[in-house]
Amino acid sequence: MSHSTLPQTRTTHGAAAPPPATTVAPPSRTAAARPGEPPSIWPASAAPLGHDDLAVGGVPLTELADRFGTPAYVLDEDEVRHRCRAYLRAFPDTDVFYAAKAFLCRAMVHWVQEEGLGLDVCSAGELELAVTTGFPPERIVLHGNAKSPADLRAALRLGVGRIVIDSTSEIARLAAAVPAGSRQKVLIRVVPGIAAGGHAKIRTGTDDQKFGLSIADGSAQHAIARVLSQPRLELVGLHCHLGSQITTAKPYLSAVRRLVGLLARIHEQHGITLPELDLGGGHGVAYRPGEPALDIASLGAKIRAELAGGCAAAGLPVPRLAVEPGRAIAGPAGVVLYRVLSVKRTGAHTFVAVDGGMSDNPRPALYGVRYAPRLVGRSSAAAPEPVTVVGRHCEAGDVLAADAQLPGDIRPGDLLAVPVAGAYHLSMASGYNLVGRPPVIAVTQGQARLLVRRESLADIQERDIGL
């Protein structure tokens, strides 16, 4: 998402300020980048300090590393809030649901709620955390390709606003669980047959993968008919999620056309007009300088125009639109800090090993994501050299940043900061090698506070109760 779309009004915690009437140019972040490096991958609050240190949210990164240790995740609260507001501006009269799978903690629940967004969850765990934190369950959508009986029971018990049906077998199971005399609002997750996303493993809009019900083979139409036959289920709309890291509007516009066509067929065959259309998320962000990012303001305008035109041509009222951004809100707001443990030069390669790795960020190993780490807290006159930043785990694939440019005198004890680390890092973290998961620290207006504490050896040992 381009920072040109972000509103710039700063607020303190508590009641959210209304979106500004006009867009103000963001503060310059040139100093957060190396010479010639576009600064857009860093939070807007990133600012230079002496000795090549960097502050985020008004707090020096070296200070955070010393106070909280490394690895550690730093989350810029203002950046999260600005990105929430950017979506509300880009998608007026739209339900914007934050995708909790990107990153969730109690503070994030509060920020999203205060900024006026709904919540998209995929498990009873995410749902319970949100509701026990005070998030209104009627503003929550539950989906997932294989919801467990516990997931569905929790959703019904807590009163979630929408459940997304992902398979025909789920229809009867859910209907049987709904208490007598009540109805649960549901959406059908449709596969429109559109290939979009940054990697084959994160494309979910095509046939022959695990998500959703295909239009092409009639599965979606069959599921719609079955839901309509269930008196305890109320079909209110269609759901579609094309994939992740999508950087152009074209796939979304194609999806709108196909889904409007399906809405027209539903109206013709069943005599009903579905009032809601959820286009999911997958909005791409830049992880390294020069990479493309989806322009959210442009996307919102194009989608709304396409939807209005398609519905007018089909003789349908325009359904209530919903979108589900996750990465585009949390990702660019996060920075992860690592301490260099060793530097190994073998032939033509230099390996810089740090105190984290695939246990706190499996994404490079899973689908080749590339990052741009930066040395902070020490001035260096050495020319940049290509290095491979690797983790501490017993896997050759434990690579955090391939072909990274770092000073040629990089050495043990140095501090590295990696931007765009707020999404799908800690949420996908594992217990590999029994290395505890890092903490999450919020920064805003020169203050830092711990949101999620570091997982300790005692935490790990307490779970192991067998002899």
Report CA dihedral (461, 462, 466, 467) to the nearest 10 degrees. Answer: 50
| φ, ψ at 247 (rounded to 5°) | -115, 5
Closest CA to 242 of 186, 301, 289, 303: 303
Closest CA to 273 of 232, 234, 236: 236
The rounded distance, in Å, linking the Cα atoms of 392 and 71 is 11
Structure tokens that stand for 298 in this block: 């442009």
Q: Please confirm, yes or no, whether 394 is among the known catalytic residues.
A: yes
One of 105, 122, 311, 394 is an active-site residue; which one? 394
Helix, strand, or coil here: 163?
Answer: strand
Q: In 10 A of CB 88, how many CB atoms?
A: 18
Burial of 348 (0-12, 13-18, 19+ CB in 10 A): exposed
Q: In 10 A of CB 35, how many CB atoms?
A: 6
The rounded distance, in Å, linking the Cα atoms of 165 and 176 is 14
Give me the active site residues, please. 394
